[in-house]
Amino acid sequence: MAQLFFRYGAMNSGKTIEILKVAHNYEEQSKSVIIMTSGLDNRDGVGYVASRIGLKRPAIPVFDETNVLEVVKQTNPDAACVLIDEAQFLKKHHIIELAHIVDELHIPVMTFGLKNDFRNELFEGSKYLLLYADKIEEMKTICWFCRKKAIMNLRFHDGQPVYEGEQVQIGGNEAYYPVCRRHYFFPPEINKVRN
């Protein structure tokens, strides 16, 4: 039975590498997958999923106006699975469309993304995935500064933590750290840690 999955984790928890692994496993068995990612993430070019360990694949970019149900119907309505990276950037209508892919087309949908932003507030896509997903699973990683589990994302600029500003700023290790609650509120001097 097809289900809607949401796998979330802090930065550096291996979400994208997991998508690439799942896609490989399906394709090794000659089963087709559709890979999608937010059109906002342009770090490796729009329409690509790329992991920090260097693996990269093309993906269908999802923009605010994209109807993902129609994209799946037009691309491959017999796909074995739909995989979505950067799901936190999706809109409410996208999440409902993903539920329709599961319920109407009977295709499992696996989404991967951040749960909370650097202000420790939910992203829109994450909020509605937490409400609509059949299965929710945390992908774990450790705090950049200690050995505790990272549950938050710390944005920084010029070596200083940032707690206010626009929710979306695309970036990786140059702008964000996965951190535990303690180091979210009391980070060590970042310039000393980075050098």
Task: Tell me the pTM.
Answer: 0.89
Is 146 annotated in a binding site? The answer is yes
Question: What is the rounded average pLDDT for all residues in the chain?
Answer: 89
Residue 24's contacts (CB-CB under 8 Å, 6 or more residues apart) are none
- Percentage of residues in the chain with pLDDT exceeding 70? 91
State yes or no: 3 annotated in a binding site.
no
SS3 assignment, position 105: helix
Q: What pLDDT does residue 190 have?
A: 62
Using a 10 angstrom Cβ sphere, with 0-12 exposed, 13-18 middle and 19 or more buried, the burial of residue 46 is: middle
Please give the structure tokens belonging to residue 178.
């996965």
Helices and strands in the chain, H and E counts: 6, 11
- State how far the Cα of 21 lies from the Cα of 16, in Å rounded to an integer: 9
Examine the pLDDT at 192 and tell me if it is beyond 70. no
The residues that are catalytic are: 86
47 is in an annotated binding site: no
Q: Among candidates 92, 84, 169, 175, which has minimal Cα distance to 126?
A: 92
**Mind giving me the DSSP string for 1-31?**
---EEEEE-STTSSHHHHHHHHHHHHHHTT-
Instruction: Write the pLDDT tens digit of every residue in 149-171.
Output: 999 999 887 777 877 767 666 55
Q: Which helix H or strand E contains 127, and what residues bound it? A: helix 124-132
Instruction: Give the three-state DSSP class for 172.
Output: coil
The predicted-structure confidence for 88-144, as pLDDT tens digits, reads as follows: 999 999 999 999 999 999 999 999 999 998 899 999 999 999 999 999 999 999 999
pLDDT at 174 over 70: no
Instruction: Answer yes or no: is pLDDT of 84 > 80.
Output: yes
Q: For residue 186, which phi and psi values (nearest 5 degrees)? A: -135, 65
β-partners of residue 33 are 81
For residue 164, the model assigns a pLDDT of 75
- pLDDT reported for residue 98: 98
Q: Is 39 annotated as a binding residue?
A: no
